[in-house]
Amino acid sequence: ETGVTQTPRHLVMGMTNKKSLKCEQHLGHNAMYWYKQSAKKPLELMFVYSLEERVENNSVPSRFSPECPNSSHLFLHLHTLQPEDSALYLCASSQDMGWDGYTFGSGTRLTVV
């Protein structure tokens, strides 16, 4: 375990479903991130939360909705996704925007059918 726990590990959902990805960190970090990892593409930063406030939203479609209720938890709410949204979704955390590096979770493998 890395100290960053993501659930579920795998998720298959239909395009009309609503689901949520969960991330929890036990490291006392004050920043959390959602990344999308697709095959043969660079890691895409989706959202950044620092001290529970969203500080970055990289032109992510509104069908992805993040939520950060406290500094230890981060959610990604999904609705009406498209097949091209199938990917590995990674959560990461850091102290002070990552000057010392990020700690990643194991990811959620999402398949949209």
Partner 1 sequence: AQSVSQHNHHVILSEAASLELGCNYSYGGTVNLFWYVQYPGQHLQLLLKYFSGDPLVKGIKGFEAEFIKSKFSFNLRKPSVQWSDTAEYFCAVTDGNQFYFGTGTSLTVIP
97 sits near partner 1 (criterion: CB under 8 A): yes
Calculate the dihedral angle through the C-alpha atoms of 38, 42, 44, 50, rounding to the nearest 10 degrees: 130
Cβ 66 to partner 1 shortest distance, Å: 17
Calculate the dihedral angle through the C-alpha atoms of 35, 47, 11, 106, rounding to the nearest 10 degrees: 40
| Complex with partner 1: residue 30 or 80, whichever CB lies closer | 30
Strands 4-7 and 18-25: antiparallel
CA distance 108 to 88: 6
Question: What residues numbered 46-65 form the site for partner 1, per CB under 8 A?
Answer: 48, 56
Cβ 83 to partner 1 shortest distance, Å: 22
102 sits near partner 1 (criterion: CB under 8 A): yes
The binder of partner 1 chosen from 105, 108, 110, 112 (CB under 8 A): 105
Which parts of this chain interact with partner 1 (CB under 8 A)?
Answer: 2, 4, 41-43, 45, 48, 56, 90, 92, 97-107
